[in-house]
A and B are shown apart, each in its own frame.
Chain A
């Protein structure tokens, strides 16, 4: 590719001609501040925080969108640049609430960081403050437009990455607000509740619904037996909130910390991930041999489920009837576990730690009470869990590594990879191959379904059948597969779809920031955790085998149907108007 050479702050930089000034500055080791910019997703030059001076240009240029040119002379730190950036940020602050000390994004807010980095010590302007109501209509996401800087990163991620388009800028000028159509509440929009918007919001305009107070209350209640399950993806991410590199496996410390918070039993969602493979694998074999609806599509990801219910309700018969591992766990905790431990299920409070905001919605679905009680009571995102550890004053880095409790703590490598895109597929292939052929796999690593490519396809020979599989992550990629399926062009047997880019490790409840680089590091952590496990195939999990023997009978048996399987609800694209 042709390159150009330009001068930035007296340094010569050579870079490809399609680059922006922001790219060139980065290459030269100069950090230009940005706010609305989100690499590859939102490059609109709207906020003017990244302005630079280009010799000969009439006005300051937005570095994030200004293309480089040969011989260009750029200053990123001239008096005019500094003064313009300060003015812009002061104007943003002029109508921004000043309750930083009690804000959920305090110390992890890009606006706050900008004000600090630009050395702003006073705001010369006192603007009118918009008085939008806070939208707490969903159990997953809280929308507080008063804290919105109108950067449109949420709109871009919702449209371009997730293909959902639930929110857009409405009204104009000072009255502009990012909201669903007609200014409806989020609960009335065809929103998957994936929370990707909460990951990219630079401030606290979009945050997870906080359930920490409810959890503290349960932990303080001596009459309650409070149990907790931790999703695969949380163990390679929660450490980030305590200074660990993204992807560091902190499973043992997380378990120890949960015990110190006062949970009576610390269990692992990985256990029911293994169980999911047994149920879903059996369901797939059933469908293949009895002419059932194919391809079968995974059903672990509640954002994905809500998405298909809104946008492709006619394809619902393709979904596996398996509940997600979280909900399987919930149903078993208040039946099998309660019975085994001799505890009245009504005294159990079942908490889950999830990388996910949609899980908070999933637990409220009316059908999720097959145990006779609400199967899961509280979902905390990874972010909320990190906050609780801090509130408890835990010295996370110096905690010992502790094991999970029995019986829901015995798990396999196949379960931990549920946390990364392609993981459910790989776990299913490991089991399906061995169960169907009765042979042992030489190489259990199905690397063809791993990685961050949007849609991955593979063909795996199993017992004389070429099993065709596909994996998509991020709802925009899911759309591509579903459109093919709807057009009759998908001849797969089995499809894995995860709502969030990268799979659950990139979930909407994960630590902020979450970007492509961090996603890749967490994925590396997931596969490293798999390698460390003594057992790496779900059907070899002895606790799962015992569960079938003692309680469930067999996969897809009567008890399984009652507790582990579910049904779906067509919702339509325009839920409010259709009502």
Chain B
């Protein structure tokens, strides 16, 4: 994009953030009463909603049941009005299917599926407004929803994206920065152990810079963890007050 500099000489980005700074995160758990677990998250202008059902009996064909662990079923959809240009279908297109698969992979790594053999856990995420980092927002929302459902997990899964501009790694890309077309890295981290649940990078990036970008994404994911942890603690505190403990 001509005339748009993603990182100023003073080290500020288009929206006024520093290179490693996250956008404002606001989240709430337990937004719906009917689902087993639900959460809503806002990361800057990206808004996502996650709902979890389960663990329950396998729905549909019994043949899909796994004898030793639970089946994690994910569906990603994004509202037709979520993007700048109106989408024709909320789900079922190639990008949504891919996103669903990635989420499934991420959460199979985090949920203790062996505790619920022959059962199914449904995770449905929905993007209501997209402004960059939709994968990260979905993972973070889904983590909160799975926690809200009380499904045992190894650890939080915290995700964040990172990019690379003018020799500097940028954390938590916004839509403008994504659209500029530089390299993009999506990372889902289990913060306590530092294990990576999902790693994906598009476009090209020199091998020497990879470590720097990865480090930026990991640090941002840990920052996300701090915020999510606070949200969970606050939610538990509110819930326990309501229960009269």
Asked whether A and B interact, the reply is no
Residues of A within 8 A of B (CB): none
Residues of B within 8 A of A (CB): none
